[in-house]
A and B are shown apart, each in its own frame.
Chain A
Protein backbone atom coordinates (compact mmCIF):
# COMPACT_ATOMS: atom_id res chain seq x y z
CA UNK A 1 0.00 0.00 0.00
CA UNK A 2 2.93 2.30 0.65
CA UNK A 3 4.10 1.52 -2.87
CA UNK A 4 0.64 2.33 -4.15
CA UNK A 5 0.71 5.64 -2.30
CA UNK A 6 4.10 6.47 -3.82
CA UNK A 7 2.89 5.49 -7.27
CA UNK A 8 -0.22 7.64 -6.87
CA UNK A 9 1.88 10.63 -5.86
CA UNK A 10 4.29 10.01 -8.74
CA UNK A 11 1.55 9.55 -11.32
CA UNK A 12 -0.16 12.71 -10.17
CA UNK A 13 3.07 14.60 -10.63
CA UNK A 14 3.50 13.00 -14.06
CA UNK A 15 -0.08 13.93 -15.00
CA UNK A 16 0.62 17.57 -14.17
CA UNK A 17 3.82 17.54 -16.23
CA UNK A 18 2.03 15.86 -19.14
CA UNK A 19 -0.85 18.33 -19.00
CA UNK A 20 1.63 21.23 -19.01
CA UNK A 21 3.58 19.68 -21.88
CA UNK A 22 0.36 19.25 -23.82
CA UNK A 23 -0.64 22.85 -23.26
CA UNK A 24 2.80 24.08 -24.31
CA UNK A 25 2.72 21.85 -27.40
CA UNK A 26 -0.69 23.23 -28.36
CA UNK A 27 0.54 26.80 -27.94
CA UNK A 28 3.66 26.07 -30.00
CA UNK A 29 1.60 24.41 -32.75
CA UNK A 30 -0.86 27.34 -32.78
CA UNK A 31 1.99 29.87 -32.97
CA UNK A 32 3.70 27.93 -35.77
CA UNK A 33 0.46 27.84 -37.75
CA UNK A 34 -0.15 31.53 -37.12
CA UNK A 35 3.25 32.21 -38.68
CA UNK A 36 2.84 29.78 -41.54
CA UNK A 37 -0.72 30.44 -42.69
CA UNK A 38 -0.22 34.00 -44.01
CA UNK A 39 2.92 32.78 -45.82
CA UNK A 40 0.97 29.96 -47.48
CA UNK A 41 -1.77 32.37 -48.57
CA UNK A 42 0.65 34.94 -49.92
CA UNK A 43 2.97 32.41 -51.54
CA UNK A 44 0.06 30.92 -53.40
CA UNK A 45 -1.06 34.35 -54.59
CA UNK A 46 2.44 35.49 -55.56
CA UNK A 47 3.39 32.26 -57.33
CA UNK A 48 0.13 31.86 -59.19
CA UNK A 49 1.08 34.11 -62.07
CA UNK A 50 4.63 32.78 -62.31
CA UNK A 51 4.08 29.06 -62.27
CA UNK A 52 2.40 28.89 -65.68
CA UNK A 53 5.69 29.81 -67.32
CA UNK A 54 7.69 27.12 -65.52
CA UNK A 55 7.93 23.83 -67.40
CA UNK A 56 7.40 20.75 -65.19
CA UNK A 57 6.05 22.69 -62.25
CA UNK A 58 2.93 21.18 -60.82
CA UNK A 59 -0.18 23.25 -60.23
CA UNK A 60 -0.46 25.09 -56.97
CA UNK A 61 -2.69 23.32 -54.46
CA UNK A 62 -5.98 24.77 -53.30
CA UNK A 63 -5.76 27.06 -50.31
CA UNK A 64 -6.78 25.04 -47.28
CA UNK A 65 -8.25 26.64 -44.16
CA UNK A 66 -5.84 26.93 -41.21
CA UNK A 67 -7.87 24.41 -39.20
CA UNK A 68 -7.53 21.69 -41.86
CA UNK A 69 -6.22 18.26 -41.00
CA UNK A 70 -2.50 18.95 -40.33
CA UNK A 71 -1.13 16.28 -42.70
CA UNK A 72 -3.21 17.61 -45.60
CA UNK A 73 -2.26 21.17 -44.74
CA UNK A 74 1.43 20.21 -44.62
CA UNK A 75 1.17 18.40 -47.93
CA UNK A 76 -0.26 21.55 -49.54
CA UNK A 77 2.45 23.73 -47.96
CA UNK A 78 5.17 21.33 -49.15
CA UNK A 79 3.68 21.40 -52.66
CA UNK A 80 3.85 25.19 -52.63
CA UNK A 81 7.48 25.02 -51.47
CA UNK A 82 8.24 22.64 -54.32
CA UNK A 83 6.61 24.89 -56.92
CA UNK A 84 8.46 27.85 -55.46
CA UNK A 85 11.79 25.99 -55.76
CA UNK A 86 11.02 25.23 -59.41
CA UNK A 87 10.15 28.86 -60.08
CA UNK A 88 13.38 29.95 -58.41
CA UNK A 89 15.37 27.49 -60.49
CA UNK A 90 13.88 28.85 -63.70
CA UNK A 91 14.30 32.51 -62.84
CA UNK A 92 17.47 34.52 -62.80
CA UNK A 93 16.48 35.98 -59.47
CA UNK A 94 14.89 33.98 -56.65
CA UNK A 95 11.30 34.93 -55.97
CA UNK A 96 10.42 36.43 -52.62
CA UNK A 97 6.93 37.11 -51.32
CA UNK A 98 5.81 40.26 -49.51
CA UNK A 99 4.41 39.88 -46.01
CA UNK A 100 3.13 42.73 -43.93
CA UNK A 101 4.66 42.68 -40.45
CA UNK A 102 3.10 45.48 -38.44
CA UNK A 103 3.43 48.51 -40.71
CA UNK A 104 6.36 47.11 -42.62
CA UNK A 105 6.48 44.86 -45.67
CA UNK A 106 9.17 42.20 -45.45
CA UNK A 107 10.30 39.91 -48.25
CA UNK A 108 10.18 36.20 -47.42
CA UNK A 109 12.44 33.74 -49.23
CA UNK A 110 11.62 30.18 -50.19
CA UNK A 111 14.10 28.99 -47.55
CA UNK A 112 12.29 30.98 -44.86
CA UNK A 113 9.00 29.52 -46.10
CA UNK A 114 10.40 25.98 -45.86
CA UNK A 115 11.68 26.74 -42.36
CA UNK A 116 8.15 27.81 -41.33
CA UNK A 117 6.71 24.60 -42.82
CA UNK A 118 9.30 22.49 -40.96
CA UNK A 119 8.58 24.35 -37.71
CA UNK A 120 4.86 23.65 -38.08
CA UNK A 121 5.48 20.01 -38.98
CA UNK A 122 7.70 19.57 -35.94
CA UNK A 123 5.13 21.30 -33.70
CA UNK A 124 2.43 18.96 -35.00
CA UNK A 125 4.62 15.91 -34.22
CA UNK A 126 5.39 17.22 -30.74
CA UNK A 127 1.70 17.83 -30.11
CA UNK A 128 0.80 14.29 -31.18
CA UNK A 129 3.46 12.88 -28.85
CA UNK A 130 2.25 15.09 -26.00
CA UNK A 131 -1.35 14.00 -26.57
CA UNK A 132 -0.36 10.33 -26.44
CA UNK A 133 1.70 10.80 -23.28
CA UNK A 134 -1.13 12.69 -21.60
CA UNK A 135 -3.69 10.03 -22.53
CA UNK A 136 -1.39 7.26 -21.33
CA UNK A 137 -0.78 9.12 -18.06
CA UNK A 138 -4.51 9.42 -17.46
CA UNK A 139 -4.93 5.72 -18.20
CA UNK A 140 -2.20 4.86 -15.69
CA UNK A 141 -3.83 7.12 -13.12
CA UNK A 142 -7.23 5.52 -13.70
CA UNK A 143 -5.86 2.01 -13.28
CA UNK A 144 -4.15 3.04 -10.02
CA UNK A 145 -7.42 4.56 -8.88
CA UNK A 146 -9.14 1.24 -9.42
CA UNK A 147 -6.52 -0.58 -7.35
CA UNK A 148 -6.60 2.04 -4.60
CA UNK A 149 -10.38 2.06 -4.51
CA UNK A 150 -10.56 -1.73 -4.20
CA UNK A 151 -8.01 -1.78 -1.38
CA UNK A 152 -9.63 1.10 0.49
CA UNK A 153 -13.07 -0.47 0.26
CA UNK A 154 -11.71 -3.85 1.40
CA UNK A 155 -9.71 -2.41 4.26
CA UNK A 156 -12.40 -2.04 6.99
CA UNK A 157 -13.47 -5.70 6.78
CA UNK A 158 -9.85 -6.85 6.81
CA UNK A 159 -9.09 -4.71 9.86
CA UNK A 160 -12.23 -5.80 11.70
CA UNK A 161 -11.30 -9.43 11.13
CA UNK A 162 -8.11 -8.86 13.11
CA UNK A 163 -9.50 -6.72 15.89
CA UNK A 164 -11.54 -7.94 18.82
CA UNK A 165 -14.93 -6.44 19.40
CA UNK A 166 -14.47 -3.39 21.60
CA UNK A 167 -10.87 -2.79 20.53
CA UNK A 168 -10.39 0.99 20.34
CA UNK A 169 -8.75 0.59 16.92
CA UNK A 170 -12.10 -0.56 15.57
CA UNK A 171 -13.51 2.90 16.19
CA UNK A 172 -10.81 4.54 14.09
CA UNK A 173 -10.94 2.26 11.04
CA UNK A 174 -10.90 4.64 8.08
CA UNK A 175 -13.85 4.22 5.80
CA UNK A 176 -13.86 5.08 2.14
CA UNK A 177 -16.74 5.50 -0.18
CA UNK A 178 -16.53 6.74 -3.72
CA UNK A 179 -19.60 5.77 -5.60
Chain B
Protein backbone atom coordinates (compact mmCIF):
# COMPACT_ATOMS: atom_id res chain seq x y z
CA UNK B 1 0.00 0.00 0.00
CA UNK B 2 1.41 3.40 -0.86
CA UNK B 3 2.00 6.06 1.74
CA UNK B 4 -0.60 8.82 1.66
CA UNK B 5 0.30 12.35 0.63
CA UNK B 6 -0.01 13.54 4.19
CA UNK B 7 2.59 10.99 5.31
CA UNK B 8 5.14 12.36 2.88
CA UNK B 9 4.90 15.94 4.10
CA UNK B 10 6.68 15.46 7.47
CA UNK B 11 9.43 13.47 5.78
CA UNK B 12 9.93 16.21 3.23
CA UNK B 13 9.89 18.84 5.99
CA UNK B 14 12.55 16.92 7.92
CA UNK B 15 14.75 16.68 4.85
CA UNK B 16 14.33 20.41 4.18
CA UNK B 17 15.21 21.31 7.79
CA UNK B 18 18.29 19.12 7.72
CA UNK B 19 19.33 20.29 4.28
CA UNK B 20 19.12 23.93 5.43
CA UNK B 21 21.51 23.13 8.28
CA UNK B 22 23.90 21.39 5.88
CA UNK B 23 23.79 24.28 3.45
CA UNK B 24 24.36 26.82 6.23
CA UNK B 25 27.39 24.88 7.36
CA UNK B 26 28.92 24.11 3.96
CA UNK B 27 27.72 27.23 2.19
CA UNK B 28 27.01 25.08 -0.87
CA UNK B 29 23.81 24.06 -2.55
CA UNK B 30 23.11 20.42 -2.07
CA UNK B 31 22.79 18.39 -5.22
CA UNK B 32 21.23 14.99 -5.40
CA UNK B 33 22.85 12.10 -7.25
CA UNK B 34 20.81 12.87 -10.38
CA UNK B 35 22.25 16.45 -10.26
CA UNK B 36 18.90 17.96 -9.42
CA UNK B 37 18.99 20.50 -6.70
CA UNK B 38 17.22 19.43 -3.57
CA UNK B 39 15.18 22.59 -3.66
Assign chain B's interface to a size class.
20 to 34
Q: Which of B11, B26, B34 contacts A174 (CB 8 A)?
A: B11
The DSSP consensus for interface residues of chain A is: helix
Chain A 1-45, CB within 8 Å of chain B: the 1/0 string? 111110011011001000000000000000000000000000000
The DSSP consensus for interface residues of chain B is: helix
A9 touches B15 (CB 8 A): no
| Bound complex: CA A142 to CA B2 (Å) | 9
Q: What B residues does A9 contact at CB under 8 A?
A: 9
Q: Please report the total number of A residues contacting B with Cβ < 8 Å.
A: 33
A residues 132-161 with Cβ under 8 Å of B? 141-142, 144-145, 148-152, 154-155, 157-159
Instruction: List chain A positions with a Cβ less than 8 A from chain B.
Output: 1-5, 8-9, 11-12, 15, 141-142, 144-145, 148-152, 154-155, 157-159, 162-163, 167, 169, 172-174, 176, 178
